[in-house]
A and B are shown apart, each in its own frame.
Chain A
Amino acid sequence: MEHGLLISIIYAFISLSVATIWGLLLGGIMMKVVARAHGRFGPPFWQPIIDIIKNNARRTSISHGIMYFLGPVFRIAGGMGTFLFIPFIYGSMVFGNFSFAGDLFLVMYFIFFGQLGMALGAGESGHPYSAIGVARGLSQMTAFELPFALSIISIVIQYGTLNITSIVAAQQGGILHWTLFTNPLATIAALIALQGMNMHNPFSIVIAPQEIPIGPPTEYHSNFLGLLQTNRGLFNIAKLALFMNLYFGGATNLFSMLIKTFGIYMITVIVGASFPRFRTEQSIRFFLGVPTVIGILAVLVTGYF
């Protein structure tokens, strides 16, 4: 759907803003759900938006150097790029995004772009905690990438293509066509990896508030922090959209997209709410254990049977 440059930019802008707002609201809703679990009312579900406005409204901020300054820019560029390379809503012009530029591998590797930028910015801040946080984040990321990669490979074998739109197309027509049912092993491995990607509880050592004050972004504040929070919303939606397209049949219209993303996010939040926190080497060993075996089985099942 490569039409005029200006129109595609406007469409991209629309889908980006929709995704960001929905991402933030999703975050707010989840805070309310967790609060309800604790028996309290919790902040209003648009609280993340207010936080972002407040952070951007800060009057002063400090900078530790160029790389520190560019850290959040890399981060949100990574988030926006990952989102833009994923066809958001199947068949719609507006939400088709720039999926013509690259296929599934492009999306998988673009996730590293954000991570790298964040890591560099945190490193430049000079704070030892941010460096420790980055080291933990990166090693955990490499660990959960393996099951995720294996499940992606098994899907590519199953559908015989890397093009996300065609994968979604293959899953249309009824729930039983979703990859969840046609290739359950791959979906399980991917969902466990998603738990690591979203840094929910069993794997939340990276931004553990009590231990090292919120990990890598320790030295970030005011509009840098604003950018990071918008990215947390957007990047979240990008990953959920990817999972939705690959495993849950993609979304033909806006409403089904909202439901599916909410559902997938709900899984990780609820699983997260009921777990203590792994140490980094425990989570590495965990990811290289059962999930990787499931991934390999998925590959073998689809590949050779």
Chain B
Amino acid sequence: MTIITILGFLLIIIGLWGMLTRKHLFRIILGFSIIDTGIHLVIVSLGYIKGRTAPIFDADLSPIDAINRIVDPIPSALVLTAIVIGLAVTALMLVYVIQMHRHKGSLEISDYEELKW
């Protein structure tokens, strides 16, 4: 459990708190993106092995001796997809908010309550 994981969790909790308490739609989306970044931090930090470098092959890291110089590559790979997906979801949320504003003209989550019971 490195510092970064703890920081990641902290970010998740902040994002969660923001998403749950703020009424404004944008703040909710912000909360979501904070949660996403928190999770990404956790993912990356879990793959970290002390004293190793990032699993990117370039000039000074050849594939042959990479096995004992790089951190666990899989979380890093996963985090890439996760980030992309997080981005897509946030984009979609923003589109939703724009459409909702165009229809209802309000950005308060509590105004979209016709569908209930």
Are chains A and B touching in the complex at the 8 Å CB cutoff? no
- Chain A positions within 8 Å of B, measured between CB atoms, are none
